[in-house]
């Protein structure tokens, strides 16, 4: 027989499996000195499991439920309602009913209670499940309590709760329901206390939301709340709302809405002193649980009672600084077009590659720029460099500088921060320089491929660590840096001077199409050639439309034309198969590992293009550039001192066209090397799995590189560490990293300071000139792209893996990006008008809407 009831005094936060998240937190809260919690008890998950065991056909229904897609709303609604009706219809056995109602004798049988669901997957550090299950207030009498306990059990299968579990990967069978039965309090005021500001994420600012009566009115959105911001023991901001309604206990049970008399509607629900006192209680609770809390409170006779506390799951973690000083961090992912969470092996390898101090938080990397901002000597250069790359980062940093009280005061000792490699002098145009750099990189990669197969065990990890130094030598080669900086500076020169001399904005964008040696844009055009090899073979095309197995390439030779199709795809993968979405994370699956990812792209090219489109597109871009160059030079020659201006412009155009394509090569070389490392490390992981050191090969993704070295040396691994890292990674994926973050946890959102835009325009950074109008395709997963000719791609960010889509679109809008990031470079290469850094573009623009992209001026219009 199970244990069906536990009092709060018997419960602590380790008992989530028995009393659910809400129950465990209430038990733990009742143990904190100075925190008042209304008395109560929990009906444990043992009781729920007993009821589930008596439910007819429940296993079959749970099987059907688990197979549904979270988007299959109709089927979820019908099946979840069926399960709820079944559970509510089961009579509670007498011994169980007696156990549930037994504590009421001591607490008061005729008292009023709150009966609240408490699921085992609820109020977790990684998922709140807030509002997913049911709560009932002012429940009076044993019979009513039993009835509402049944309703709480059934609420585990509300449509919203089922959908939430499906979306977040929770198994319906592994989530159980406990029920909290707690004495009701009837407060003058109630509300929510966040121990970190929910708007800015600042951990030093507590936010109190308050209204009259029961807090359910506020939680359900029935009333507006007063808001108090409390910092360092004082209210620093206050907003008092007009409160027309309050939720009160109804005489017959339950609650009812009551109007607040007009003379009190604009009264504050709390005094400043009460708000400060409440914030202090919140800090005590936060300290006990070790992380910021979302706390439900009630004010009764000038005393506060706490009826719930849960972790705030939406806050982005703070990089660990190891001191009490103020710090300012800038996101690396926004520079690298990879804002997704990375696994520990990917993070550590990227840190080893970058070779400069970086800080991990929330599965992302950040650079500490505090000293650069604080030193007058380096501040201007830092703001200019980061602001030119991403104006929102630049503006956010300027906001911090203007606060004056956050940054330390440093003496003017010279630059504390400078771009890697400094600012090298431009080099004169010579195509042999680029050819030499590419050749040396390819020879080094070939040597790696030749030598690494002989390595295994600890020797393999040592070899990879040593080879990373060769990778760094190539990445940070001063001549390589001079090449792309020369192209960037020539681009800036052309844009500034063509605007000053000819009144033409972003002229360099029209001069960067079809440049040589751009390995990423060549990749997109080469996939058009793959489509050409497949298009004549209808059996192959039909087969590819239903491909799911990654081994499909081995099946192709059985079809007419299949051998040629397979060879074309494999040849493409030999050159580009090391790439993938989020490719700077070595743990991400590569195209060579998941070739099915390419199939929709190939089929799209067959549908949208005629044979020979790749070659034609490159030549058309080259002809457009030549025409634009002739036009600009002719106009310049007509100006005073025109021959000199035209000759300078011609030299800069040559630099752009000779050197800008190389901008994509260093990353291509790095990712190529990463794939060689990954293949060797996965072989080593296979050895560890066969030796039963690892449960599965992919467990190495949750170890840092140096931890993996230790595992290879000792043949021992900490399973709990890996499990914890997996849980953490799942929670990190749901977080949105800020561009700029402070050590207070405040996410600083920059802004575009522009007032020259049409009403309703979405502002961003202009990176590829021109204006285009078309259908917006909002795409978050490249593998699900379904494009038609003329579409405009709207997405969060693009890295090189998105390039095959660029051949099929007419314009580009992204939420993240800068002048020299991947999407901008390839958009100019293909002649696509593009605006990047458009905040919340994928939410503000709906899929299928007509939009106009102003790539020259940097904004997007949503058309009627």
What are the catalytic residues?
Answer: 822
Whose CA is closest to 384, among 374, 371, 370, 398? 398
Buried b (16+ CB within 10 A) or exposed e, 763-802: bbbbbbbbebebebbbbeebeebebeeebbbbbbbbbbbb
In contact, 310 and 123? CB cutoff 8 Å: yes
Task: Give every CB contact of residue 679 below 8 A, 6+ residues apart in sequence.
Answer: none
545, two tokens: 């439309």
Task: Give every CB contact of residue 104 below 8 A, 6+ residues apart in sequence.
Answer: 111, 142, 145
- Alpha carbon of 254 to those of 37, 104, 176, 248, 474: distances in Å? 21, 18, 26, 9, 71
At 763, give phi and psi (nearest 5°): -90, 145
- Give the C-alpha separation, 542 to 94, whole Å: 63
In contact, 306 and 34? CB cutoff 8 Å: no
The answer to whether the Cα torsion of 653, 657, 658, 662 is positive or negative is: positive
- Give the C-alpha separation, 226 to 851, whole Å: 39
Buried b (16+ CB within 10 A) or exposed e, 394-414: bbbbbebeeeeebbeebeeee
- Give the C-alpha separation, 147 to 597, whole Å: 51
In contact, 188 and 300? CB cutoff 8 Å: yes
- Give the C-alpha separation, 6 to 724, whole Å: 29
Whose CA is closest to 771, among 852, 689, 671, 701? 852
Neighbours of 423 (CB within 10 A): 12
In contact, 230 and 237? CB cutoff 8 Å: no
- Alpha carbon of 777 to those of 160, 728, 786, 787: distances in Å? 28, 32, 8, 7
- Give the C-alpha separation, 344 to 350, whole Å: 10
DSSP 208: E
The answer to whether the Cα torsion of 759, 764, 766, 767 is positive or negative is: negative
295, two tokens: 């706390």
- Alpha carbon of 198 to those of 201, 270, 340, 341, 746: distances in Å? 5, 20, 22, 21, 10
- Give the C-alpha separation, 329 to 738, whole Å: 10
Query: How are strands ordered across the β-sheet holding 205-212?
Result: 234-239, 226-231, 205-212, 189-194, 293-300, 303-311
Beta strands in 86-188 (DSSP E): 112-119, 135-140, 177-183
- Give the C-alpha separation, 701 to 582, whole Å: 14
- Give the C-alpha separation, 804 to 798, whole Å: 11
For helices 457-475 and 344-354, what crossing angle results, to 10°?
50
In contact, 584 and 346? CB cutoff 8 Å: yes
- Alpha carbon of 109 to those of 40, 142, 500: distances in Å? 12, 7, 85
- The alpha-helical segments, DSSP class H, found in 155-302 are 159-168, 216-219, 272-289
- Give the C-alpha separation, 232 to 204, whole Å: 8
């Amino acid at each position: 027989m199970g244990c069906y009831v536990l009092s709060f005094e018997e419960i602590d936060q380790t008992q989530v499996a028995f009393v659910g998240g809400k129950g465990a937190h209430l038990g733990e809260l009742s143990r904190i000195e100075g925190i008042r919690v209304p008395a109560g008890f929990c009906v444990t998950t043992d009781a729920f499991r007993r009821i589930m065991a008596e439910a007819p056909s429940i296993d079959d229904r749970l099987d059907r439920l688990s197979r549904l897609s979270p988007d299959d709303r109709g089927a979820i609604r019908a099946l979840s309602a069926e399960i709820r009706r079944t559970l509510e219809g089961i009579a509670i056995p007498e011994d169980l009913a007696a156990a549930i109602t037994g504590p009421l004798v001591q607490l008061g049988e005729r008292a009023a209670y709150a009966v609240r669901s408490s699921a085992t997957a609820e109020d977790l550090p990684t998922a709140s499940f807030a509002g997913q299950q049911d709560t009932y207030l002012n429940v009076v009498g044993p019979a009513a309590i039993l009835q509402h306990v049944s309703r709480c059990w059934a609420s585990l299968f509300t449509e919203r709760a089922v959908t939430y579990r499906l979306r977040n990967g929770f198994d319906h069978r592994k989530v159980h329901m406990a029920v909290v039965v707690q004495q009701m309090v009837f407060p003058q005021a109630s509300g929510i206390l966040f121990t970190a500001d929910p708007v800015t994420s600042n951990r030093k600012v507590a936010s109190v939301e308050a209204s009259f009566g029961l807090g359910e009115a506020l939680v359900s959105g029935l009333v507006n709340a007063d808001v108090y911001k409390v910092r360092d023991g004082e209210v620093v901001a206050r907003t008092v709302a007009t409160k027309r309604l309050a939720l009160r206990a109804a005489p017959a049970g339950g609650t009812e809405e009551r109007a607040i008399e007009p003379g009190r509607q604009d009264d504050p629900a709390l005094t400043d002193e009460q708000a400060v006192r409440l914030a202090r209680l919140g800090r005590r609770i936060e300290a006990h649980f070790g992380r910021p809390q979302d706390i439900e409170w009630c004010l009764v006779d000038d005393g506060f009672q706490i009826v719930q506390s849960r972790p705030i799951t939406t806050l982005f973690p703070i990089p660990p600084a190891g001191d009490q000083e103020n710090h300012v961090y800038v996101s690396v992912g926004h520079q690298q077009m990879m804002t997704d969470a990375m696994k520990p092996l990917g993070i550590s390898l990227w840190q080893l590659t970058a070779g400069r101090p970086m800080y991990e938080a929330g599965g992302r990397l950040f650079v500490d720029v505090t000293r650069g901002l604080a030193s007058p000597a380096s501040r201007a250069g830092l703001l200019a460099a980061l602001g030119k790359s991403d104006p929102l980062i630049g503006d956010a940093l300027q906001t911090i500088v203007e606060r004056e009280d956050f940054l330390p005061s440093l003496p003017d000792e010279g630059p504390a921060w400078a771009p890697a490699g400094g600012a090298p002098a431009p080099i004169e145009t010579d195509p042999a320089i680029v050819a030499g750099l590419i050749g040396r990189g390819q020879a080094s990669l070939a040597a790696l491929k030749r030598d690494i197969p002989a390595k295994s065990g600890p020797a393999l990890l040592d070899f990879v660590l040593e080879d990373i130094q060769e990778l760094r030598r190539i990445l940070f080669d001063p001549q390589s840096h001079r090449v792309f900086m020369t192209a960037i500076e020539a681009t800036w020169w052309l844009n500034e001077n063509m605007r000053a001399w000819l009144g033409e904005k972003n002229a360099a964008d029209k001069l960067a199409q079809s440049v040589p040696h751009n390995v990423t844009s060549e990749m997109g055009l080469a996939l058009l050639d793959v489509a050409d090899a497949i298009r004549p073979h209808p059996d192959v095309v039909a087969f590819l439309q239903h491909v799911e197995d990654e081994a499909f390439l081995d099946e192709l030779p059985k079809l007419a034309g299949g051998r040629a199709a397979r060879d074309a795809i494999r040849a493409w993968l030999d050159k580009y198969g090391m790439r993938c979405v989020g490719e700077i994370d070595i743990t991400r699956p590569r195209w060579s590992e998941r070739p099915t990812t390419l199939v929709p792209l190939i089929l799209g090219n067959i549908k949208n293009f005629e044979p020979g489109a790749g070659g034609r597109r490159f030549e058309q871009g080259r002809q457009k550039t030549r025409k634009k160059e002739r036009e600009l030079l002719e106009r310049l020659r007509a100006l005073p001192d025109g021959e000199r201006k035209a000759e300078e412009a011609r030299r800069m155009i040559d630099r752009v066209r000779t050197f800008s394509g190389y901008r994509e090569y260093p990353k291509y070389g790095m990712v190529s090397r990463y794939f060689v490392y990954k293949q060797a490390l996965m072989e080593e992981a296979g050895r560890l799995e066969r030796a039963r050191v690892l449960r599965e090969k992919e467990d190495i993704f949750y170890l840092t590189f140096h931890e993996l070295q230790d595992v290879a040396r000792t043949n021992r691994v900490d399973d709990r560490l890996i499990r914890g890292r997996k849980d953490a990674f799942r929670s990190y994926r749901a977080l949105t990293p800020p561009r700029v973050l402070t050590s207070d946890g405040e996410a600083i959102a920059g802004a575009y300071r522009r007032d020259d835009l049409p009403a309703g325009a979405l502002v961003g950074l202009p990176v590829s000139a021109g204006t285009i109008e078309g259908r917006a395709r909002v795409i978050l997963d490249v593998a699900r792209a379904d494009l038609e000719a003329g579409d405009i791609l709207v997405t969060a960010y693009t890295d090189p893996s998105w390039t095959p889509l660029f051949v099929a679109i007419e314009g580009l809008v992204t939420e993240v990006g800068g002048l020299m990031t991947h999407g901008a470079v390839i958009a100019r290469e293909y002649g696509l008008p593009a605006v990047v850094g458009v905040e919340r573009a994928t939410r503000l623009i709906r899929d299928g809407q007509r939009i106009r992209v102003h790539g020259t001026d940097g904004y997007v219009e949503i058309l009627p």
